[in-house]
Every structure is written in structure tokens, then in C-alpha cells.
Amino acid sequence: MFTRKIVLLAIAILSICFVFATDAYHEWMFVKILGPGFNILDQVGNTETEHRMTARFGISYPIYRNIRSTISRMEPNNATVLLPPKGYLKDRKLAVAFEIVEPAVFYYFTGLNGVDVNSPDLSRAGWAIDVINREVGVRKLARKEERDSLIAIFKKYQN
């Protein structure tokens, strides 16, 4: 009975190894799970939420947190931020590898409402993420004309 369990365990382990030896699962395992950022000692030593989120989402996460703190200082209640299209950021040749996210993920990162150029709530946007001197920044859209001109620019880069 005991040897039968050992044989079945060995067969199960070999089956799992064969599955992960196929190209699709092999790539997934070493890119997503055991990728270059996988270092158990680093993960154990840095258990703070901000560090782990930055490691997971890259340089974009701290930039979004800075955007949140900037807007929260000036307008603590319910700000709506206009998010630029990816093509706009790519054309501006940013100094860092910043990735724009969809409005739901933007809310997850910042707690602020985000709208893109296709949103029916564009008129509520009082802030915009923009590129100034190849750096990502946020600017207040004080006038309707300013918002409309930025929306027109963003629509040119719409996917």
C-alpha cells in the first residue's frame, strides 16, 4: 500500500513537470511566477504595501500616488481626472516608462475618478494628466476652453 502511494506521487510529480515543460506553461511559469523580480529574500525584507505595489506595477504606481497626493492637497473632495490616450504619451517620448491605465485601475491606484476621451462624464474633468518637459504631471483645468482644447488634442491620439 505504501509503495503504491509513493509510485502515484512520483507519477503525479512527473505529470506536473511535463505540463510545465510545454512552451506555453514554461513561459508563464518563468515570466509571471519565477520571473526576474522573484527574490524571496527581497520580498520578505520589504513587506510594505507601497514597495510591493511598486514592484508589481512598476514606476507608474508611485507616479499615480504622487498625482493623488497633489490633487488631494488642492481639492480634497471628489476630483475627476482626464486620462490621456496611450498614443499621446508615446508621442511625447517620456523620460520614464509610464503606462496609462484604464479609469477603473486608476481609481484602484488613486481613489480618484478618471475619465478618458470616450467617457460621457468628460465635462466633470477638473484635472488632467499631461506631459510637461517629458515628465508626467497633473494640471488643473480651470476653464472649459482649456479642457475642450486638451480633449481635442487627446482625441487625435485615440486608439
Greater pLDDT, 76 or 11: 11
More confident residue, 93 or 128: 128
* Distance (Å, whole) CA 140 – CA 73: 12
Threshold 0.85, pTM exceeds: no
* Residue 38 pLDDT: 61
Residue 122, C-alpha cell as written in the block: 468628460
What dihedral angle (degrees, nearest 10) is formed by the CA atoms of 131, 137, 140, 146? 0
Name the residue with higher pLDDT: 9 or 133. 9
CA distances from 153 to 97, 118, 130, 138 (A): 22, 13, 11, 16
User: What value does the mean pLDDT take over residues 128-139?
Assistant: 86
